[in-house]
Amino acid sequence: MPGDSQLRTYRNERDYPFCPGCGHSLVLNHLNTALVKLGVDPHRIALVTDIGCQGLADQYFVANAFHGLHGRSLAYATGIKLVDPDLKVFVLIGDGGTGIGGAHLLNAARRNVGMTVLVMNNFNFGMTGGEHSVTTPPGGVTVTTRKGNLERPLDICATVAVNGAGYVWRGTAFDRELPDVIVEASNSESFALLDIWELCTAYYVPNNDFSRKSLLEMRERLGMPVGLLHREDRPEYARAVREANALLLGKPALPANPLPALFTSPLKEEFRFVVAGSAGGKVRSAARVLGEAAILSGLFAAQQDDYPVTVQTGHSISELIFSPNLIHFTGVTRPDALVLATEEGRKASARYLKALTAESWLFTTPEFANMDTPARKVVVDLDAMGIKGGRKNLAWLLSVYALNQLGIISAEACEEAARRGQRAEVAEEMIAGLRRVVGGEKAACA
Amino acid sequence: MREFIDGATAIARGALDAGATFFAGYPISPATPILLHMIRELPKVGGLAIQGEDEIASISMCVAAAMTGARAFTATSGPGMSLYSETIGLSIMGEVPLVIVDVQRLGPATGGATTPGQGDVQFARWGNSGGYPIIALAPGNVYECYSLTRVAFDLAEKHRCPVFLLTDKELFQALTTADVDRFEAPPVRERVVAEALPAGTHGLRAEETTIPYRAPAPDAAPAYAPIGGPHIVRFTGSTHDEHGFLTKDPVKVGKLNERLRRKIEDHAAELEMATSTTAPGAQTAFVSYGVTTGAMEEAYRIACAEGRAVSTLAVQSLWPVPENAILQFVKPGDGEAVVCRIVVAELNHGDFRREVERVVYRWCAQARVVPPEIVGINRVDGELITPAQFLEQIVGG
Ligand SMILES: Cc1ncc(C[n+]2csc(CCOP(=O)(O)OP(=O)(O)O)c2C)c(N)n1
Ligand code: SF4
Ligand SMILES: [Mg+2]
């Protein structure tokens, strides 16, 4: 049969496994009729089945089949469609799968992923023995609602319609027009959902004295309308994504950003430099520029950051290591220099402060001028230097000042790193600040 | 020339260079950078990335994409791994070539979102119902973040199974200095689509031109054929025959499940990856992986400088466990490497030490030799294991 683009039937030789009178058989026959009417090459059809009695269905068709896990069929259909937007995708899902996969239902509709979803809705879990589902009507008797269901049934159609589905229909497995509805739904090239009410002759029917006639009565009782309920023309998601992405095609993907050793550094051994400031104080981006400046100076650099989950509040600490040799261990227990920019930084720096010795350096602001430490303390007074608005770049300004004083990384290297790594306006601001602190008054050394 | 690069970027670049074309993920610290990289970069190579509505949707989309012709991967952290669990099983059963990056954070539950951990080692291995083997690789530095990502894609392709890249917040986010030319690029096999079987092939069904789950050997994956491609195929997560039809036939069921185990376990020796340094006369061997290998290497450097002998083993393939590499420290036949203490350092309560103990004690019991002492260095306080902690554990030397 390879090469056939159209079949007289899309059913294979295997017999359905369903109980006598089960609505699933009717729906699948309608689906077959619809596929014949559509006349699509079976190689270009994906039949995605959920789990449950209806989930067995793909095995009776000549088409690509995807049978995964319970409730996830809509997510698989989305994945398939995103890769191959021209495939005809059909999803066969039960009322059970619709419930457990509720998040996927909302999102597939909302995105308008092109697929035709047949909800084979028999108001209970057939496969597992007749438990209630999200569509069990009020009063419905199931093995888990023995005195009658107290939960309000989910209006699947209204839900997907209000959330952007392209085609929404409700009816029963007995409806003669179902094949044509399936054809129309599929041709809508949108997220199309058909809520198909059925009989589960093993459980829901005997437990509720239910019949074909009850289906008709029920829609009056629940006030759920039938027929074509909603049509909406929106861009189909898989194609829309491809179109939006097309502009980027061919651009170089994640190219390396090599940093040539344009400058030099006199550093002979590893130097650990910790910058402690506040979240939102651009500590991490300042540290990154310094690391890049170190590499531009022929050094190795490493940077490790610590910050709370809420990134705009609390501390932000960057540990930097500069070394003439390869750095194996990126952790810092004892800083050689600590840059203390703010109170939040100080609060989170207890272990660094404790580790400081008379050999260490502490660079900080007048706010912490009286702080007790064995380290050599350098108080940098930006106001006295005539630098206005330095607070928002405090971590950067203190750090470049410190590195310049320590003679580890030159101001030129820092400028070059800022120019290469930051947006033009940001780089400009960083460089302007740097020139002021580096050229400014000598700081007080306590 | 050098660059300042984090593990996240190296992994993203590894995936792009390995030919990845599809990514789906749900934001979670510390794994989010991969999602951001892929959203930005995949369209440039003709692929696409999507933020799923949750982790279950994300990995489900990846599985479906992988079976529709894409080379797919996803990335998450502990809480997301929990939600992946059922679909990891699906990927094993359906034989899906899928790479899963797990950027470990401190668990359990929400745990420490921005804190490093290595507590998913056993979870990755046993996080599927049925207990089927998977492959898990752990890069120890930024170079390996790149190269092992490539290896992960290659192995996923070959064995058609989920391959984990187990990394951690610190290695993933810390920026380090790398030589642009020192990144190794192990080969990644191309996606090969199954050839049409000759008409009259035994068992071929009317609509089939390939038999989707007929494997060439009892320890191998079947040839791959995508949905929408030249063959009509069936994919299933249920126990199936070679056509993908549900079956309870014990012969077929047993054969399938044995094959799913054997396609990994029978290849353990060729899959195992570890790098060791053995010092003559060393009585201590350090074993580590992931971010912790950095501290181990620094400790080794210090020990050498101080004239203290110690051997090291940096494990890259956590699963399968590199048994041969571990046993070099106990097998007398290997001469110099035999030690009296093995130190396993990890940011968990001893996940991998269990494996070292299992391998060493079993072999020693069979060989009737006294096993070395096996001790752990373990931290679950969110801090890294330091070189000093390794150095304290050296005996002799
Ligand atoms: C995660 C998960 N939970 C539970 C089950 C058990 N299970 C199998 S089918 C099913 C319900 C099926 O009901 P429905 O979707 O309405 O399909 P029907 O059998 O009625 O056609 C359940 C809960 C499962 N397979 N997977
Ligand atoms: S249990 Fe219900 S849904 Fe399942 S086959 Fe029987 S009648 Fe159909
Ligand atoms: Mg049902």
Half-sphere exposure of A78 (CA within 13 A, CB side): 32
Which domains occur in chain A, in start order?
5-244 (3.40.50.970), 271-445 (3.40.920.10)
For residue A24, give the ligand 2 atom closest to its CA: 8
Q: Do A68 and B68 lie within an 8 Å CB cutoff?
A: no
Q: Burial, B114: exposed, middle or buried (Cβ in 10 Å; 0-12, 13-18, 19+)?
A: middle
Judged on CB neighbours under 10 Å (0-12, 13-18, 19+), A257 is middle
Q: Which residues of B338-347 are buried (b: 16+ CB within 10 A; e: fewer)?
A: bbbbbbbbbb
Contact between chains at A260 and B1 (C-beta distance less than 8 A) = yes
Q: Which ligand is nearest to the CA of A24?
A: 2
How far does B333 lie from chain A, in Å, by closest CA? 32
**Is the confidence metric ipTM above 0.95 for this complex?**
yes
Nearest to B48 by CA among A81, A191, A69, A235: A81
Each residue's pLDDT tens digit, B111-124: 998 899 999 999 99
What CA–CA distance (Å, rounded) separates A326 from A300? 6
Task: Per residue of chain A (446 residues), give pLDDT as tens.
Answer: 444 567 899 999 999 999 999 999 999 999 999 999 999 999 999 999 999 999 999 999 999 999 999 999 999 999 999 999 999 999 999 999 999 999 999 999 999 999 999 999 999 999 999 999 999 999 999 999 999 999 999 999 999 999 999 999 999 999 999 999 999 999 999 999 999 999 999 999 999 999 999 999 999 999 999 999 999 999 999 999 999 999 999 999 999 999 999 999 999 999 999 999 999 999 999 999 999 999 999 999 999 998 887 767 899 999 999 999 999 999 898 999 999 999 999 999 999 999 999 999 999 999 999 999 999 999 999 888 888 777 789 999 999 999 999 999 999 999 999 999 999 999 999 999 999 998 865 555 54
Q: What pLDDT does A297 receive?
A: 98
Residue B213 touches partner A, C-beta closer than 8 Å: no
**Calpha distance B39→B4 (Å, rounded):** 22
State the pLDDT at residue A1: 45
What's the angle, vertex CA A168, arms to CA A163 and CA A172, rounded to 5? 135
- B75/A396 Cα distance (integer angstroms): 33
Q: Are B173 and B115 in contact (CB under 8 A)?
A: no
Residue B135's DSSP bridge partners are B163
User: Two tokens at B41?
Assistant: 């970069």
Report the DSSP beta bridge partners of residue A397: none
Residue A444 to residue B212: CA distance in whole angstroms: 76
Q: Is the distance from CB of A125 to CB of A77 less than 8 angstroms?
A: no
Q: Helix, strand, or coil here: A111?
A: helix
Query: How large is the angle between the packed helices A73-83 and A237-246, nearest 10 degrees?
Result: 40
First to last CA, chain B: 38
CATH code for the structural domain at B2-182: 3.40.50.970
Distance of CA A396 to the CA centre of its chain: 33
Would you say the CATH fold of B272-391 matches that of B2-182? Answer: yes
Provide the token pair at A331.
């952790």
For ligand 2, say whether the CB of A285 is within 6 Å of any of its atoms. Answer: no
3-state secondary structure (DSSP) of residue B22: strand
Question: Would strands A315-323 and A300-306 be described as parallel, antiparallel, or unpaired?
Answer: antiparallel
Q: Which residue of B has its CA nearest to A11?
A: B207
Mutate to test the interface with A, among B16, B183, B207, B245 (most CBs of A within 10 A): B207
Radius of gyration of chain A from Cα atoms?
34
Place of tokens 């430490």: A373
**Beta carbons of B104 and B169 less than 8 angstroms apart:** yes
CB-based pocket (< 6 A), ligand 1: A 50-54, 70, 94-97, 120, 122, 125-128, 133
| Cα B171 from Cα B154, distance rounded (Å) | 22
Please check whether residue A308 is in contact with residue A371, taking contact to mean a CB–CB distance below 8 angstroms.
Answer: no
Chain A hits for B387, CB-CB cut-off 8 Å, are 328-329
Interface contact B60-A305, CB threshold 8 A: no
Q: Ligand 1: which atom is nearest the Cα of residue A125? A: 13
Residue closest by Cα to atom 1 of ligand 1: A70
- β-partners of residue A378 are A363, A445
Structure pTM? 0.97
B 263-282 → A contacts, CB under 8 A: none
Between residues 278 and 317 of chain B, which touch chain A (CB distance below 8 Å)? 291, 294-295, 297-298, 301
Contact with chain B for residue A363, Cβ under 8 A: no
In contact, A80 and A202? CB cutoff 8 Å: no
A with B: how many residue pairs have Cβ under 8 Å apart?
Answer: 234
Interior angle at CA A372, CA A397 and CA A334, nearest 5:
65
Q: Does A350 touch chain B (CB under 8 A)?
A: no
Q: Tell me how far apart the alpha carbons of residues A24 and A46 are, in angstroms, rounded to a whole number.
A: 19
Minimal-distance CA residue to ligand 1 atom 24: A70
Q: Is A46 in the pocket of ligand 2 (CB under 6 A)?
A: no
> Which residue's CA lies nearest to atom 6 of ligand 2?
A19
Q: Is A333 exposed, middle or buried (0-12, 13-18, 19+ CB in 10 A)?
A: middle
Q: Look up tokens 């990514």; give the residue.
A: B23
Residues in A closer than 8 angstroms to B180, CB to CB, are 256, 258
Q: Which amino acid does the sequence have at A243?
A: E
B242 near A CB under 8 A: no
Q: Between the CA of residue A375 and those of A321, B224, B260, B364, what are the distances in Å?
A: 19, 65, 61, 53
User: DSSP labels for A129-168?
Assistant: TSEE-TTPPTT--BTTBTT---SPPP-HHHHHHHTT-SEE
Nearest CA to ligand 1 atom 26: A70
Residue A83 is predicted with a pLDDT of: 98
Nearest to B46 among A2, A67, A249 (CB): A249
Write the burial class of residue B199 (CB in 10 Å: 0-12 exposed, 13-18 middle, 19+ buried). Answer: exposed
User: Which residue in B122, B169, B108 sits closest to B291, CA to CA?
Assistant: B169
The single-letter code of the amino acid at B394 is: I
Task: Provide the CATH number for the domain formed by B272-391 in this structure.
Answer: 3.40.50.920
Domain locations along chain B: 2-182, 272-391
The crossing angle, in degrees rounded to 10, of helices B32-41 and B7-17 is 40
User: Edge-to-edge strand order for the sheet containing A337-340?
Assistant: A444-445, A376-379, A361-364, A337-340, A271-278, A315-323, A300-306, B175-179, B2-6
Phi/psi at A84 (5° precision): -130, 80
CA distances A445 to A178, A394, B266, B317, Å, are 86, 18, 67, 52
Three-state DSSP state, B37: helix
A65 to chain B: nearest residue by CA?
Answer: B234
Residues 6+ apart with CB under 8 A from A390: A382, A383, A397, A433
Give the whole-angstrom CA distance, residue A211 versus residue A197.
11
**pLDDT 10s per residue in chain B (397 long)?**
999 999 999 999 999 999 999 999 999 999 999 999 999 999 999 999 999 999 999 999 999 999 999 999 999 999 999 999 999 999 999 999 999 999 999 999 999 988 999 999 999 999 999 999 999 999 999 999 999 999 999 999 999 999 999 999 999 999 999 999 999 999 999 999 999 999 999 999 999 999 999 999 999 999 999 999 999 999 999 999 999 999 999 999 999 999 999 999 999 999 999 999 998 889 999 999 999 999 999 999 999 999 999 999 999 999 999 999 999 999 977 666 899 999 999 999 999 999 999 999 999 999 999 999 999 999 999 999 999 999 999 997 6
Check residue A3 and give its pLDDT. Answer: 46
In this structure, how many other beta carbons lie within 10 angstroms of the beta carbon of residue A180?
14
**Cβ of A201 less than 6 Å from ligand 2:** yes
* Cβ neighbours for B186, distance < 8 A, ≥ 6 positions apart: B147, B150, B151, B154
In angstroms, the CA A394 to CA B57 distance is 43
Q: Residue B337's pLDDT is what?
A: 80
- B186 touches A at CB < 8 Å: no
Please tell me if residue B37 touches chain A, with a CB cutoff of 8 Å. yes
Contact criterion met (CB < 8 Å) for B114 and A308:
yes
Closest ligand relative to B89 C-alpha: 1
Strand pairing report for B2-6 and B175-179: antiparallel
Determine phi and psi for B17, rounding to 5 degrees.
-70, -25
pLDDT at position A149 is 98
